[in-house]
């Protein structure tokens, strides 16, 4: 290898062809593809007058191409695949296409070399590229002539990828079967970038011993081990990962790199901050990667993240994507931003929150070819340079919610971009199956969103934040969700108490919130529907309407105006003893619930339901309190924001976190 001090360049591996170790057929479309894309110009072109969502939504769930699926038995090894005689396999897939526009925009790489090794004669290797609007072009091709292994090499520039686009290759077998044994994307890089960095993994776990132990086992691969410095597991539960039957093999596989640290339940931010602190204090790894304990990992994605970080133009946070653990070809989001005026996290409007690669492949989904620039990456898989942790501090002490997004905004303000990098991903329980705005998490959603906005919003009084927050409170109140509004009010009161109280609440606030919620019927969940009285109603629905009817915009506006007034009326007598209706979770919208005086409402996870009952006096008291609080924020926003911004360096410093951890780790294993 070239001496880094001598200048010049060296060749470095950026990405290699990989195939799944999982036999789940849902996984295969992320690695291999036989389908020919349907590129209907009228439906699928992006970048014009219609957004990607509108252009693709009509047929997102339909197969848009013809052909057969790749069989699992064609996968011969981690890197080799069989292509039967006369057939074609495309590597234009999530894990095997090369995300050229990301390398073009964020790295020092200007050109790449693709080498494809094929065993068997008569095979054609075709190299393709796409542009930001998804249009595709053939770039080059080659044919194998020998029966033994033949390596074809293609030199490819990254110049045309300023806005988006991918490279990929297809292999077509001739008169006999061929095997694609391997493929590598390499690049000439400055000699001082020749050696790869190392990463500390920070995994926060609580009462998921088997899941966490299996994840640790996935990390102990020979290819990944040289990139791992230390794997920190922050054990915050009572069911310990060490007690899992899968732990001994996982520990052996990590070959001395594993450290399990026990501490009290300080939430995700407390767990990740502990991992960040240990990484900074140890000072030997280039990066620290946050990772959830309930994921299935593609180890190659960690290698790719480290490689991309090594070759980035400047220190860069590199995150991965999240696929569904239950439907493994479904991508949750291609990128996340904080909408600045609303100050709310979301996917960009020209993207999707849920995309099924099993129904629409990468090549036919033109919106996926535009590079997606982001504000942050979720800490289910997110790699932060250690130098950045040292420069801008550790996580905010928020317990859960907004710690990852706030950190992305803080890093961006310091000149550190975040890149959600294609080809780095985990499979995780989808957040779309939850409604955590109604349970104990409502407190953390509200408090932490306000804290992040006070620190980073550039709009007067947080833009639309206060208006939206008050509107949400009213929607919860007309829906008889009094416990949720009480928690949201407590959250705002805690924000007003100041930033230096956040550390003190970290280990106690959850228990206090849960104890407080128990007094409200809308927070008392029952798994058995027979626990509730039977449904009885004084009058039948007006004009026979039922809950599946979807009101128009005008009807919703009228309901929004009248529902708060209706809450001042005396509830119907019969509703005090019997619920008036049963409402399924999917139908439990404020504009439906608001017309009832009592209802049994099921929860999003499908396991339980709660009784909602209208309480006129409680409604009036909560309206008064939320009005007073929101008015105070409108009046004092600038002063409160200045207080939080002045305290940011202190409350995220390693020294402050060290003091926070002390009482929660005393006498426990480290």
Instruction: Return the percentage of the chain with pLDDT > 70, whole number.
Output: 91
- Over residues 94-117, the mean pLDDT reads 98
- Asked if residue 61 belongs to a domain, the reply is no
Is 211 found in the same domain as 183? Answer: no
pLDDT band at residue 105 using 50, 70 and 90 as cut-offs: very high
Question: What's the mean pLDDT in 605-628?
Answer: 95
Question: Are 527 and 409 in the same domain?
Answer: no
> Quick one: average pLDDT of 232-242?
97
pLDDT digits 0-9 by tens, 516-526 = 999 999 999 99
- CB burial readout 496-533, b (16+ within 10 A) else e: eeebeebbebbbebbeebeebbeebebbeeeeeeeebe
Report residue 628 as tokens.
């007073």
- Nearest alpha-carbon partner for 101 in 421, 424, 425, 426: 421
How far apart are the C-alpha atoms of 342 and 409, rounded to whole Å?
Answer: 15
Among 152, 175, 193, the domain boundary falls at 193
pLDDT at 563 over 50: yes
Give the per-residue pLDDT at 545. Answer: 62
Q: What is the mean pLDDT of residues 560-589?
A: 93
Query: Of 502, 395, 506, nearest to 450 (Cα)?
Result: 502
Task: For residues 634-640, give the mean pLDDT.
Answer: 98
The pLDDT of residue 107 is 98
Q: Is 126 in contact with 137 (CB distance < 8 Å)? A: no
Specify the pairing of strand 418-428 against strand 317-324: parallel
- Cα–Cα dist 22/333, whole Å: 22
Confidence of residue 140 (pLDDT cuts 50, 70, 90): very high
Cα separation, 409 vs 458, whole angstroms: 12
The whole-number average pLDDT for the span 319-330 is: 95
Between CA 393 and CA 523 the distance in angstroms is 37
Indicate if the pLDDT at residue 557 is higher than 60.
yes
Q: Are strands 287-292 and 381-385 parallel, antiparallel or unpaired?
A: antiparallel
Examine residue 229 and state whether it is found in any structural domain, yes or no. Answer: yes
Least confident of 3-12, 35-44, 181-190, 661-670: 35-44
pLDDT of res. 437:
79
pLDDT of 311: 98
Residue 19 lies in a domain: yes
Q: Based on the domain organization, do 491 and 618 belong to the same domain?
A: yes
Same domain, residue pair 71 and 127: yes
**Domain-located, residue 58:** no
Is there a single domain that holds both residue 39 and residue 84? yes
293 in catalytic set: no
3-state secondary structure (DSSP) of residue 654? helix
Pick the closest to residue 616 from 467, 444, 480, 494 (CA basis).
480
Please report which confidence band the pLDDT of residue 245 belongs to, taking 50, 70 and 90 as the band edges. very high
Same domain? For 157 and 214 the reply is no
Mean of the pLDDT values across residues 331-348?
95
**How many Cβ atoms are within 10 Å of 5's Cβ, its own excluded?**
7
> What's the domain range around 172?
10-47+67-193
Supply the pLDDT for residue 432: 67
- Give domain status of residue 4, yes or no: no
Q: What's the mean pLDDT when you consider all of the chain?
A: 91
pLDDT at 507 exceeding the cut of 60: yes
Residues 483, 404 within the same domain: no
Q: Residue 605: its pLDDT value, please?
A: 81
- For 253-282, the pLDDT digits (tens) are 999 999 999 999 999 999 999 999 999 999
d(CA 288, CA 201): 6
H helices of 400-440, in order, are: 403-413
Strand positions, DSSP E, 503-634: 582-583, 598-602, 609-613
158 domain residue, yes or no: yes
Residues 168 and 270 in one domain: no
Sign (positive or negative) of CA dihedral 261, 264, 265, 267: negative
Q: 446 versus 34: which is more confidently predicted?
A: 446
The one catalytic residue among 404, 473, 597, 615: 404
Alpha carbon distances (Å) from 69 to 32, 59, 92, 170, 377: 9, 19, 14, 15, 32
The last residue of a domain, from among 139, 169, 193: 193
- 363-402 pLDDT, tens per residue? 989 999 999 999 999 999 999 999 999 999 999 999 999 9
511-536 mean pLDDT: 94
At 546 the pLDDT is 62
Say what the pLDDT of residue 543 is: 60
The CATH number that applies at residue 154 is 3.90.550.60
Same domain, 144 and 269: no
State the Cα–Cα distance between residues 98 and 157, nearest whole angstrom.
12
Pair (116, 37) in one structural domain: yes
- Whether 662 and 616 map to the same domain: the answer is yes
Give mean pLDDT, residues 146-160. 96
The token duo for 274 is 């502990």
- Is the residue at 641 inside a domain? yes
Domain end residue (candidates: 164, 193, 222): 193
Q: What is the pLDDT of residue 55?
A: 41
Specify whether 438 is located in the same domain as 412.
Answer: no
3-class SS string, 131-157: CCCCCEEEEEEEECCCCCEEEEEEEEE
- The reply to whether 263 falls in a domain is yes
Q: Between the CA of residue 63 and those of 36, 97, 554, 653, what are the distances in Å?
A: 10, 20, 37, 51
Predicted pLDDT at 547: 66
Beta-sheet strand order (sheet of 167-172): 88-90, 167-172, 124-130, 136-143
Dihedral-angle region of residue 71 (phi above 0 means left; psi in -120 to 50 means alpha; beta otherwise): beta
Other Cβ atoms less than 10 A from the Cβ of 208: the count is: 17
Nearest to 485 by CA among 451, 453, 445: 445
Model pLDDT, residue 6: 53
> Model pTM?
0.93
Of the candidates 492, 505, 501, 517, the one whose C-alpha atom is nearest the C-alpha of residue 440 is: 517
Number of folded domains that form the chain: 3
């Amino acid at each position: 290898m070239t001496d880094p001090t001598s200048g010049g360049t060296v060749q470095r591996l950026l990405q290699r062809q990989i195939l799944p170790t999982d036999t789940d057929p849902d996984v295969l479309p992320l690695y291999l593809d036989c389908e020919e894309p349907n590129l209907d110009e009228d439906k699928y072109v992006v970048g014009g007058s219609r957004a990607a969502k509108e252009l693709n939504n009509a047929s997102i769930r339909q197969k848009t191409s013809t052909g057969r699926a790749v069989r699992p038995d064609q996968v011969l090894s981690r890197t080799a695949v069989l292509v039967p005689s006369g057939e074609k396999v495309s590597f234009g897939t999530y894990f095997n296409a090369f995300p050229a526009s990301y390398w073009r925009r964020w790295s020092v790489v200007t050109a790449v070399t693709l080498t494809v090794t094929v065993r068997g004669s008569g095979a054609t290797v075709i190299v393709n590229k796409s542009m930001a609007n998804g249009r595709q072009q053939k770039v080059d091709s080659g044919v194998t002539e020998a029966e033994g292994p033949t390596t074809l090499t293609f030199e490819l520039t990254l110049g045309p990828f300023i806005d988006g686009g991918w490279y990929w290759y297809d292999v077509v077998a001739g008169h006999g079967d061929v095997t694609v044994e391997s493929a590598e994307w390499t690049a000439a890089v400055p000699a001082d970038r020749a050696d790869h960095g190392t990463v500390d993994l920070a995994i926060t776990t609580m009462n998921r011993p088997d899941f966490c132990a299996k994840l640790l086992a996935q990390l102990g691969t020979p290819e990944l081990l040289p990139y791992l410095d230390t794997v920190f597991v922050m054990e915050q539960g009572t069911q310990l990962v060490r007690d899992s039957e899968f732990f001994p093999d996982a520990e052996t596989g990590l070959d001395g790199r594993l450290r399990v640290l026990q501490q009290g339940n300080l939430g995700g931010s407390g767990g990740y901050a502990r991992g960040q602190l240990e990484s900074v204090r140890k000072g030997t790894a280039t990066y620290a990667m946050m990772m959830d304990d309930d994921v299935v990992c593609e180890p190659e994605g960690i290698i790719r993240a480290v490689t991309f970080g090594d070759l980035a133009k400047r220190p860069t946070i590199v995150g991965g994507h999240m696929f569904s653990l239950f439907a493994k070809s479904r991508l949750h989001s291609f990128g996340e931003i904080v909408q600045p005026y609303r100050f709310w996290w979301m996917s960009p409007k020209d993207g999707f929150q849920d995309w099924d690669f099993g129904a629409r492949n990468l090549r036919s989904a033109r919106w996926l070819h535009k590079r997606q620039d982001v504000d942050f990456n979720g800490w289910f898989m997110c790699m932060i340079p250690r130098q950045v942790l040292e420069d801008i501090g550790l996580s905010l002490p928020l317990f859960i919610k907004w710690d990852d997004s706030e950190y992305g905004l803080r890093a961006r303000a310091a000149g550190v971009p975040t890149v959600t990098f294609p080809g780095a991903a985990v499979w995780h329980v989808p957040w779309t199956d939850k409604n955590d705005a109604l349970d104990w998490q409502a407190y953390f959603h509200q408090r932490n969103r306000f804290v992040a906005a006070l620190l980073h919003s550039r709009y007067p009084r947080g833009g639309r934040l206060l208006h939206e927050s008050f509107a949400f409170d009213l929607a919860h109140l007309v829906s008889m969700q009094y416990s949720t509004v009480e928690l949201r009010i407590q959250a705002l009161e805690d924000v007003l108490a100041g930033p230096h109280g956040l550390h003190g609440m970290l280990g106690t606030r959850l228990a206090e919130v849960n104890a407080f919620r128990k007094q409200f019927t809308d927070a008392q969940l029952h798994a058995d529907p027979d626990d509730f009285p039977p449904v009885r109603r004084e009058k039948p629905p007006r004009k026979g309407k039922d809950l599946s009817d979807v009101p128009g915009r005008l009807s919703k506006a009228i309901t929004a105006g009248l529902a708060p007034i209706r809450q001042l009326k005396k509830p119907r007598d019969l509703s005090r003893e019997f619920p008036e209706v049963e409402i399924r979770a999917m139908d439990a919208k404020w504009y439906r619930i608001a017309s009832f005086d009592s209802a049994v409402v099921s929860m999003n996870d499908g396991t339980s339901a709660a009784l909602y009952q209208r309480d006129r006096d409680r409604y009036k008291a909560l309206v008064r309190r939320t009005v007073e609080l929101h008015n105070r924020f409108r009046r004092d926003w600038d002063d409160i924001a200045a207080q939080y911004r002045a305290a940011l360096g202190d409350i995220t410093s390693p020294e402050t976190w060290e003091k926070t951890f002390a009482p929660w780790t005393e006498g426990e294993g480290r």
